[in-house]
Structures are given as structure tokens and as C-alpha cells.
């Protein structure tokens, strides 16, 4: 009966999607090239895997309306990380451990096992004693249609972990065994718990992989753990850590003791709208990561999720990024090279010397485009400069990206961007031993992603600007700004 109930719930959701997708895709704020669901609400990426020659993207999904609720797993595949094909919903609430209108099939991961595609997810329910979270298994012969394991749940919270603070399993295989890291909380401090299995069904606690003493919050959501170069990386989205939305830690790990000791920490993204990224290795051996481009209502800068719910949808993913290790063991997050296939005709200017205090320099008009700049620091005397993006004709609405080279500081100001969004994200700038200051920006209808300092200092924020806000400018208040190169491309629309 359980299998039939899940299929019934999937079929019901699919009927709703088919009836409403053509209306939703006409929404004025729909993205041009960022991944979105066909209808309804989307949050965390789940189950990212390169499986049988295709990229599989699962995602937290409420197909019925543009708010979080009653979590399903949506599913899409791609051959190039740019063009996506929607597949049937993979998981729907149906069991005693996941069938609740404020619960469902929460986040998790995917792995190939025994010739099948396995999903490990958190079931969330309420049976009268508050919300309870447990780890569960589903599997598929064809990579499209999934069946939940009859022995679910395979893991319940330890006695010293609150039952509603045990979620988001990330699974991998090493030396013939399966390992899984799971987010948890103990004594109001965050933990990443490590489990081990011989067969994917029977799991034993191994160790506390890492934990916070309060400096990294009270709960780590969507932990991701992976090797990179000669180091290991723990990537978490902390709750209760101020404005931090995604933190990484780099260090050493022992499979004998199960302990991870980090020596470097940093921000994967300093913006307001980058959360719960999940990584995987693709067929080219790259460590790729995809994150949710939004935030939660418990964050200090939260206003709401934006106005797209009026169009029957909410949520999209940031552009896919490749994770690379710097010589000093910090990380950089580079947009994948496949995004270049979106480029239209290039506009390029080289060796520009911009005198400060004059009128702002117009850049090419556009609301879905890519911009790259290289600043020659040796020939620059300006202390600060700004990019005014997505401006209207009157310059009353705009998003302002400011680089203070003298004080080593960057800000992303969206207070005047759309009449809806609020806040100024900010970060330090390293500017260490560099002659060239690099900037790379992806702009879409409802988002701006800024990559700076060779992709080590990044800000991603949603800006729900009107389509008429297509003017862009460079502003230099004083001094001289030497631009070694400036390139812009309009980007093609591939999502609907």
C-alpha cells in the first residue's frame, strides 16, 4: 500500500504541474538561465550526482504554490549543466516517518550502489510528540522511478540530539564502505555526525566529525564533506551564526579515527542568497557545487522570499560552480565553463583609463548578461569605484557594488534595487600580492552573482528588478581607474 500511496501523491502533483506550468513560465520575474522548478516552491539542491552520463539534480519541492510546505523531491537531468530536462517527481510524502503537511521528504544525497541509484533523505513527521527527523533510503533501477526501503527509517537521532535537529545526510563511498555525515545539534551547539555502513541499509555511529563551540552556530544544515587536493573540506550552512549563510572548513581527516581537524575557515559566499550548497564529482573529475539562491526567515537580514510567489513560484539555484583549492588552503568557487555556451555577441574594451569625478561611464544595456573586468592596481590611483547595475532610466532604482581598495572592503547594496529587497552585504578584500583585481558577474532577471579576487570573495543576492531596469554604469568618484580589460556578453534564455 505504501508504494501505491507514494505513486498516487506523485501523480496528483504531476497533474497540478502539467495544468499550471504554462501559466507559471510566463512570470515576469522568471530567470533566463538559472535553474527553476516548473511550478511552486524550490529550496535545497538534493542528490546531485553524475550518473550514467548525465547530471542528475534533485531538489526540495512543493509543486502546489510558492511557499515552503509538504516537501517532495523534484528531479531534472542535463548533459551540460545548462539545459535541463524535467523528470517525474522522485519522492513524495507517503509514510509514517515523512507524511506530514509541515514535514515530508527533506534534504539528502545520492549514490550509485549495486547498479541502482540510491537516495538517502531525511523523513520529517509529527506523530503527536513534536517534529521528528530520521534518515531514510529510496532506490531506483532506472534512475527515474523510486521506491522507498521497507525498513525505513534506517537511522533515528542519538539520545542526546533533539529529535527535530537531525537531518540532511550526505553519503559517499571509500575503500569498500559507505560513509554519511549528518547535521545535528547538541547542547545548543552544532555538530556534524559521521556514520558508516557496509551495505547502505545498516548504519553505525562512527564519530563526531566536527562540532561548534558556539562560534559556528547551534545547528549545521546540509553538511557536505569531501577530499580536495591533499586536504578535506567540510561545507555547512550554519544556523545561529549571524549573517553567515555558507561556511567552509579545510583541514585533515583520518578514516581510522573519524576525526576532522580544520586549520582554515572561510565563506563560500558573503551574499544574502546562497545556502545549502551540495557538491559532487562529475565525469571530468571536477568537484562541482550547486546552491539554493535564497535565505530563511530566521536569518537577521531576512525580509521575505521575494515577490515571485505572486507568479506561482519561488526559488532557483545559483550558477553551478567548481570548487578549487588555493595554495594557502582557502577555496575558490568558479562558475563552470559550460556557462560560456550562453554567451551572445561580445563587447570588449581594453586599457581604459577612467578619470574620477566625471559622469558615470555607461556599460552595455542588459538584464541577463555576464561581465568580466580586470583592474590594473599598479596604474590605479582611485581609492574606490562602484558598479551600478540594473538601473532604470531615472537612476532611482539600482543595485550598487562598491570596491573600497584603500580600506580593503566590498559592499553589495540592494536597498534601491527593486522596492522590495533590502540589505547591504559586505566582506573584506584580501588584495594580497596582486597586481590585477578581477571581477566576474552573472546577472539574471532576479539575481546578481559577483565573483571577485579570483573567485575567492563572492556575493550572491536576489534583486527582483523590473525588465526595464537594464542600464548599467561604472562610477569612479576620484582618482584614476585603470581597466586592463572589460568584457560583456548578453546571455541566452534556456529556462522557462
Active site residues: 44
Instruction: Tell me how far apart the terminal alpha carbons of the chain are, to the nearest angstrom.
Output: 36
Q: Contact, 441 vs 390, CB < 8 A? A: no
Instruction: Tell me the Cα Rg of the chain.
Output: 23
Cβ burial 259-279 (10 Å sphere, 16+ → b, else e): bbebebebbbbbbbbbbbbbb
148 DSSP β-pair partners: 138
- Rounded CA separation 465/385 (Å): 22
- Rounded CA separation 207/230 (Å): 22
Instruction: Compute CA distances 430 → 308, 333, 334, 465, whole Å.
Output: 36, 16, 17, 31
> Which residues contact residue 130 at a Cβ distance below 8 angstroms, ignoring those fewer than 6 apart?
163, 164
- Rounded CA separation 119/48 (Å): 10
DSSP reduced 3-state for 236: strand
Give CA angle at 495 (493, 496), nearest 5°.
Answer: 110
Amino acid at each position: 500500500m505504501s508504494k501505491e500511496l507514494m505513486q498516487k501523491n506523485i501523480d496528483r502533483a504531476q497533474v497540478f504541474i502539467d495544468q499550471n506550468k504554462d501559466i507559471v513560465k510566463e512570470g515576469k520575474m522568471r530567470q533566463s538561465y538559472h535553474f527553476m522548478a516548473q511550478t511552486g516552491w524550490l529550496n535545497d539542491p538534493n542528490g546531485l550526482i553524475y550518473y550514467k552520463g548525465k547530471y542528475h539534480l534533485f531538489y526540495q519541492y512543493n509543486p502546489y504554490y510558492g511557499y515552503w510546505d509538504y516537501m517532495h523531491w523534484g528531479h531534472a537531468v542535463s548533459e551540460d549543466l545548462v539545459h535541463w530536462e524535467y523528470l517525474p517527481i522522485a519522492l513524495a510524502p507517503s509514510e509514517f516517518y515523512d507524511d506530514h503537511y509541515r514535514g515530508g521528504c527533506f534534504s539528502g544525497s545520492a549514490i550509485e550502489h549495486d547498479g541502482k541509484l540510491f537516495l538517502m533523505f531525511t523523513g520529517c513527521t509529527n506523530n503527536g510528540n513534536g517534529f521528528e527527523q530520521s534518515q531514510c533510503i529510496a532506490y531506483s533501477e532506472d534512475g527515474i522511478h523510486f521506491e522507498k526501503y521497507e525498513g525505513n527509517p534506517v537511522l533515528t537521532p542519538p539520545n542526546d540530539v533533539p529529535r527535530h535537529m537531525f537531518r540532511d545526510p550526505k553519503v559517499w563511498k571509500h575503500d569498500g564502505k559507505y560513509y554519511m555525515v549528518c547535521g545535528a545539534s547538541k547542547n545548543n551547539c552544532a555538530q556534524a555526525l559521521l556514520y558508516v555502513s557496509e551495505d547502505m541499509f545498516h548504519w553505525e555511529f562512527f564519530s563526531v566529525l566536527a562540532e561548534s563551540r558556539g562560534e559556528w552556530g547551534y545547528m549545521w544544515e546540509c553538511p557536505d564533506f569531501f577530499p580536495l587536493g591533499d586536504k578535506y573540506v567540510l561545507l555547512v550552512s550554519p544556523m545561529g551564526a549571524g549573517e553567515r549563510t555558507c561556511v567552509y572548513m579545510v583541514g585533515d581527516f583520518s578514516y581510522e579515527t573519524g576525526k576532522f581537524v580544520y586549520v582554515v575557515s572561510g565563506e563560500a559566499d558573503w551574499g544574502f542568497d546562497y545556502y545549502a550548497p551540495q557538491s559532487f564529482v562529475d565525469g571530468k573529475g571536477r568537484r562541482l557545487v550547486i546552491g539554493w539562491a535564497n535565505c530563511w526567515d530566521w536569518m537577521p537580514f531576512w525580509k521575505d522570499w521575494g515577490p515571485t510567489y505572486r507568479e506561482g513560484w519561488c526559488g532557483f539555484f545559483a550558477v553551478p560552480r567548481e570548487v578549487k583549492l588555493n595554495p594557502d588552503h582557502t577555496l575558490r568557487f568558479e562558475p563552470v565553463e559550460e556557462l560560456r555556451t550562453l554567451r551572445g555577441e561580445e563587447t570588449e574594451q581594453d586599457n581604459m583609463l577612467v578619470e574620477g569625478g566625471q559622469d558615470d561611464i555607461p556599460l552595455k544595456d542588459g538584464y541577463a548578461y555576464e561581465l568580466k573586468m580586470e583592474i590594473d592596481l599598479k596604474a590605479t590611483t582611485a581609492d574606490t569605484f562602484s558598479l551600478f547595475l540594473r538601473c532604470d532610466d531615472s537612476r532611482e532604482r539600482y543595485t550598487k557594488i562598491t570596491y573600497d581598495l584603500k580600506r580593503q572592503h566590498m559592499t553589495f547594496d540592494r536597498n534601491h534595487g527593486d522596492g522590495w529587497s533590502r540589505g547591504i552585504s559586505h566582506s573584506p578584500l584580501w588584495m594580497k600580492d596582486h597586481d590585477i583585481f578581477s571581477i566576474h558577474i552573472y546577472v539574471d532577471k532576479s539575481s546578481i552573482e559577483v565573483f571577485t579576487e579570483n573567485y575567492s570573495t563572492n556575493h550572491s543576492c536576489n534583486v527582483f528588478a523590473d525588465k526595464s531596469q537594464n542600464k548599467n554604469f561604472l562610477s569612479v568618484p576620484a582618482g584614476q581607474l585603470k581597466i586592463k580589460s572589460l568584457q560583456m556578453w548578453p546571455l541566452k534564455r534556456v529556462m522557462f
